[in-house]
Structure formats: C-alpha cells, structure tokens
C-alpha cells in the first residue's frame, strides 16, 4: 500500500470506531430534549472534564498553536497565558450559572438571559448572536478536517469532498446521539490526541536537534527575536498580550457551547473541581509550540503555518503514524463540530424559532426543529468553507470577541441586583457594534489593544450607565430573579 | 447569588498578576531554565501553580456552598 493509502485507512478506521461509540452511547437513554442537550444534568467530574476538554481543545487549537509558533513566534504565548486564566474565571462564574440552570431548568445560554432578565427578546438576541458566531467556528473545524485529509492523502483527496463526508458523519451522529455520545467520543479522541501530542512534542525536537533545550539553543542563535513578543509581527506586543489574555479569559466561557456544557454537570462542585484541574491539560500546548518552533528551522519555506505540525509529522514519521495523528485530529474536529451543531441548533429552535414564530410548540417539536437545524447549519458551514478560504483566524477572532460581549450580562446578572434588562441590551449592542466596526475595518489591534477588549470595556460602561438610568423591571414572579439577590 | 469570598477572589487574582499584567517583566529569553527561554519556562510553571492556588480557593469556597449541594457527588 502507498503511504497515503496507509494513512487514510487508519484515519477511516479511527473515525469509524469513534462514530460507532457515539451511536452506541445513546442506547440506555430516552432521547428527550433534556437528555439530548444537557445529558439529563447527570455528568460527574470525569464526564464534564471530557466534554469540556473535548470542546475546548479543538483541532484548531493544535494546528493553530503550532502554526502561530511557526509563523508568529512569541505572540503564541498568549494561548499559554489565557488558558489557565479562563479556568480561574470559570471557577467563579460556572457554579452560580449551574445553580440557576438547575433551579429554572435552563438548557441554553439564551435561556439564562431570558430567565434572568425576564425578556424573550434578550434571549432571542443572545441566541442570534450565538448562532452567527458559531458558524465561522464550525467552519474552522471543517477546514481543519479538510487540511488533515489533504495532507494525509499527499494532496490526492481535495479538502472539499473530505469536509462534506466528515460533516455528513457528524450531522448524523449529532442527530442520533446528542451530548452523551459526544462525551464518549471525546474520551477516545482525548486519549489519542494527548498521547500523540506528548510523543510528537518530545520526539520531533529530539530527532532534529537532540532535545528541546538544544532546539531552543539553535533557535536563539538563528532567530532570537522569534522567541519573544512581538515575534515576527509588528503590532502584537505586550499591550496586545495583556488585552488579549484578558478578553479571552473573560470571554471564553461565553461561547454558547462552553456555557451550556456547565448545565450537564450533576452539581456545582463538579464544575469547581474541574476548573481547578483543567489548567493541567494545557501542558500539551507548549509541546505543540515546540513542534512549530522546530519547523521554523527544519521546514522554513512552508506557505501556511497551520500545516507545520502535520508537515513535520509527515516528514519525520512513517505513514501509519501520520494516520494516527490525522485520525485523532479528524475525530477532534468531529467532536467539536458536533457540539457546535448541537448548541447552534438548540439555540435556534428553542430561543429563536419557538418564542418568535411558534410559541405553542412542545418540547418534542422543538427537538425536531433542532434536529432539522443541524442539517441547515451543516450546509451553511460547508458552503461558507467552500466559498471563503481566507482569514479563518480573523473570523475566529471576530466570533470570540462577539461572544465575549455576553460577559457583563452574565457576571452582573449573577452578582448584581441593580443591572437592568435595558442596560444589558444596550451593552451587548454597543459591544457588538464596536467589534464589527473595528475588526471589519482592519483595526484590530486598535491602538495596541485587542479590539474585543475595547468593545468589552465600552460594553461594561454602557451596561452600567443604562442600568443606573433605567428603572428596574419588576419580574413577573420572584422565580425569575436568582434567590438572595 | 452569593458572591464568592474575598479570599477566593484574591487567590484568583494571583495568576492574573503573574501571567498577564507582568508580561514585560518575564517576556525575555534569559535566564534559560531547564533549557527553556524564560518566558516559556515562566508560563509553563504557572500551568502547574494555578491549579495549586485554585485548589486553595476551592477549599475556601466549598464549605460556604455546602448547603446548596443536595445531590450526591461522584466521579463519572
């Protein structure tokens, strides 16, 4: 068999095993909306950890981390900066979010806004922004999936058919198995990806330089400026680092899928413990940096930095190993895409479609609309991925900066009595407006600041001002405002 | 909701100070520690220290919220 046939066969086998596990995972559970979206709220520490690690450490994280280390150098350290800090933030906000979730049977992020602020329109706005921000994120997973297959097949299979097949499997798998299936597949992909990352991260510097220390010594001699900020860039210096790390650590859990993952926990303690241990998982990130940095000296002519990890693996190891790494990457992309589809579809059906168009729908009908929406989102993401190839990073950044605008509404909603619905509306609108204006006109970073943080600060100010100026709406029943507020 | 205790918040601020605001102090190559440039070493070190600190915060927070916990806890 040729190298590409070996690699592709192994990838297909891994994907088949993963999908099978996902389909089987549902067998003991009746699939109502509650089970499909939040796993019946019964996940313990291990399952929540798997689900969150499965969602957070995406193909893009791994390809992108080595890619940034390769193409930008020092600024890649922002990933190591924000990852532990976003768990610190989650330690404080997810347990009370879970508490509200249990009390009011919340399933989505938009449910949270709708219930806390007693406004279906705010819920619908949050759902709309969430779905729009999810589509480019979904598209990124697909592109990652396509890249892997393209590299593994040595260019024989184009990324478009690969994406379509991959996404077809994901869509089927999501419709059938829901969040529990995703958590199980996540287990397989975590084991594979983790062992592949650890092995590759140590082996590649060792093979080419004799070790990680010698790799750095060689790089310090050849290109010392690559290792500190701003690296090869002009504008990603220390101010950018601080503002980006702040934005990402506040904004990360505002992604609707990560926010909703907290509802799957069986109690708040699981989420706290999870927040304590999660930073340890980030230890794999520097290993990805080492691969990207090795590539700076070994493969200096790569056009696309995101290919540095896969190209190094292909150059260094036999085809079957490329198959394992590629298979882990494809499964990762599938898990992530699955959870994004699940979240986007539920948000649409439950918080946009039902309240706006068909208020009398039952939960069962909502579940049916959500499953249909899985298909719609799939098609939307594939067509986007087909027609726009450039600036994935900027789409991702815009999405992250966009969802970060929910942060004031969540934090103030949890801990402040004084914040009003009008305040949160005005804050989100201001934040989104600034994000879109600054990023679309190419002003990110703006005066050295991460544009998303500029928007977030303005958002906080406007939320506060408008809340002070508007009267508090008396909630319909005391149920809608969290206890002891 | 009951806001978190001041102690837990102060503990949570430590990693922010160490790895975010102080970037200009540690973003340099020398001294090299364990073969790593200082900035890489520093951030990797804090991947390990942050869980320790947050474990402290957990010890502070958990007793305060024990009343809210009514479901049985387990790992899986």
**A263-303 pLDDT, tens per residue?**
888 888 889 998 998 888 888 889 999 999 999 999 998 87
How near does any CA of chain B get to the CA of A157, in Å? 38
pLDDT at residue A476, as a whole number: 45
Residues A109 and A406: beta-carbon distance below 8 Å: yes
Instruction: Decide if A46 and B75 are in contact by the 8 Å CB cutoff.
Output: yes
Secondary structure tally for chain B: helices H, strands E? 3, 0
- Residue-wise pLDDT for A238-251, tens only, equals 999 999 999 999 99
Could you tell me which residue, A247 or A17, shows the higher pLDDT? A247
Please report which confidence band the pLDDT of residue A392 belongs to, taking 50, 70 and 90 as the band edges.
low
Instruction: Decide if A92 and B8 are in contact by the 8 Å CB cutoff.
Output: yes
Instruction: Decide if B54 and A91 are in contact by the 8 Å CB cutoff.
Output: yes
Identify the residue whose tokens are 């909502």. Answer: A366
Written as six digits, the tokens of B57 are 């915060």
* Residues of chain A with C-beta less than 8 angstroms from the C-beta of B27: 74, 77, 228-229, 238, 241
* SS3 (DSSP) at A483: coil
Written as six digits, the tokens of A100 are 């509200």
Could you tell me which residue, A177 or A283, shows the higher pLDDT? A283
pLDDT at residue A41, as a whole number: 73
CA-based nearest residue to A197, from A7, A320, A57, A51: A57
Please report which confidence band the pLDDT of residue A479 belongs to, taking 50, 70 and 90 as the band edges.
very low
Identify the residue whose tokens are 């702040």. Answer: A246
Residues A197 and A288: beta-carbon distance below 8 Å: yes
Highest mean pLDDT among A103-117, A137-151, A174-188, A337-351: A103-117
Instruction: Decide if B47 and A282 are in contact by the 8 Å CB cutoff.
Output: yes
Query: Which residue in chain A has the smallest CA separation from B41?
Result: A286
Q: Domain map of chain B by residue range?
A: 23-59
pTM: 0.88
CATH class for the region spanning A3-391: mainly alpha
How near does any CA of chain B get to the CA of A272, in Å? 7
Please report which confidence band the pLDDT of residue A421 belongs to, taking 50, 70 and 90 as the band edges.
very high
CA distance A332 to A170: 11
Cα angle, residue A240 at apex, residues B50 and A224 outer, rounded to 5°: 85
Residues 6+ apart with CB under 8 A from A356: A120, A124
DSSP secondary structure, A167-233, as one string: HHHHHHHHHHHHHHHHHHHHHHHHHHHHHHHHHHHHHHHHHHHSSHHHHHHHHHHH-GGGGSTTTT-
Residues A420 and A474: beta-carbon distance below 8 Å: no
Residue A476 is given by DSSP the state: S
Please report which confidence band the pLDDT of residue A443 belongs to, taking 50, 70 and 90 as the band edges.
confident
Q: Domain map of chain A by residue range?
A: 3-391
Touching check for A155 and chain B: CB below 8 Å?
A: no
CA distance A470 to A199: 57
Query: Which residue in chain A has the smallest CA separation from B53?
Result: A276
Average pLDDT over residues A363-386: 83
pLDDT at residue B70, as a whole number: 47
CA distance A62 to A83: 13
* Residues of chain B with C-beta less than 8 angstroms from the C-beta of A241: 20, 23, 27
Average pLDDT over residues A162-179: 75
How near does any CA of chain B get to the CA of A418, in Å? 13
Q: What percent of chain A has pLDDT over 90?
A: 41
pLDDT at residue A480, as a whole number: 45
Instruction: Decide if A276 and B29 are in contact by the 8 Å CB cutoff.
Output: no
Residues B11 and B60: beta-carbon distance below 8 Å: yes
Could you tell me which residue, A31 or B69, shows the higher pLDDT? A31
How near does any CA of chain B get to the CA of A229, in Å? 7
- Residue-wise pLDDT for B25-57, tens only, equals 999 999 999 999 999 999 999 999 999 999 999
Instruction: Decide if B29 and A229 are in contact by the 8 Å CB cutoff.
Output: no
């Amino acid at each position: 068999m040729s190298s590409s046939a070996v690699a592709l066969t192994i990838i297909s086998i891994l994907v088949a095993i993963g999908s099978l596990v996902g389909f089987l995972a549902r067998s003991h559970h009746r699939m109502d909306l509650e089970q499909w979206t939040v796993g019946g709220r019964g996940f313990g520490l291990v399952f929540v950890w798997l689900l969150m690690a499965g969602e957070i450490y995406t193909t893009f994280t791994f390809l992108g981390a080595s890619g940034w280390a390769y193409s930008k150098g020092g600024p890649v350290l922002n990933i190591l900066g924000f990852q532990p800090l976003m768990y610190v933030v989650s330690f404080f906000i997810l347990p009370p979010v879970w508490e509200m979730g249990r009390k009011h049977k919340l399933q989505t992020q938009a449910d949270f806004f709708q219930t806390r602020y007693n406004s279906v329109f705010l819920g619908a706005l949050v759902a709309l922004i969430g779905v729009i921000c999810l589509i480019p994120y979904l598209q990124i997973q697909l592109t990652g999936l396509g890249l892997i297959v393209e590299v593994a097949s040595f260019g024989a299979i184009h990324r478009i058919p690969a994406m379509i097949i991959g996404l077809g499997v994901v869509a089927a798998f999501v419709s059938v198995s829901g969040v529990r299936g995703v958590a199980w597949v996540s287990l397989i992909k975590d084991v594979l990806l983790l062992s592949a990352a650890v092995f590759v991260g140590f082996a590649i510097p060792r093979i080419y330089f004799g070790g990680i220390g010698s790799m750095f010594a060689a790089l310090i001699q050849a290109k010392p400026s690559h290792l500190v900020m701003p690296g090869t860039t002009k504008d990603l210096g220390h101010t950018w680092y601080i503002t980006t790390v702040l934005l990402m650590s506040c904004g990360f859990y505002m992604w609707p899928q990560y926010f909703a993952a907290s509802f799957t926990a069986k109690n708040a303690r699981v989420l706290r413990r999870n927040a304590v241990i999660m930073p340890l998982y980030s230890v794999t990130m520097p290993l990805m940096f080492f691969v990207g940095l090795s590539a700076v000296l070994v493969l200096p002519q790569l056009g696309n930095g995101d290919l540095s990890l896969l190209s190094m693996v292909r150059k260094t190891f036999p085809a079957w190993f490329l198959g394992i790494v590629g298979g882990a990457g494809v499964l990762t992309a599938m898990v992530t895409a699955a959870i994004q589809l699940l979240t986007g579809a539920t948000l649409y059906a439950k918080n946009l479609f039902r309240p706006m168009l068909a208020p009398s729908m039952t939960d069962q009908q909502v579940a049916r609309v959500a499953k249909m929406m899985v298909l719609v989102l799939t098609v939307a993401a594939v067509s986007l991925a087909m027609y726009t190839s450039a600036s994935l990073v900027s789409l991702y950044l815009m999405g992250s900066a966009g969802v970060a605008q929910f942060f004031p509404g969540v934090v103030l909603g949890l801990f402040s009595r004084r914040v009003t619905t009008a305040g949160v509306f005005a804050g989100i609108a201001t934040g989104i407006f600034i994000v879109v204006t600054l990023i679309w006109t190419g002003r990110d970073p703006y005066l050295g600041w991460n544009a998303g943080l500029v928007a977030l600060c303005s958002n906080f100010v406007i939320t506060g001002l408008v809340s002070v100026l508007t009267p508090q709406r008396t909630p319909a029943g005391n149920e809608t405002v969290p206890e002891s507020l | 909701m009951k806001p978190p205790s001041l102690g837990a918040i102060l503990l949570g601020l430590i990693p922010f100070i160490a790895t975010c605001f102080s970037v200009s102090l540690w973003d340099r190559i020398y001294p090299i520690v364990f073969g790593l440039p200082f900035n890489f070493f520093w951030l990797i070190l804090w991947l390990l220290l942050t869980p320790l600190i947050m474990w402290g915060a957990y010890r502070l927070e958990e007793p305060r919220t024990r009343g809210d916990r009514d479901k049985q806890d387990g790992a899986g």
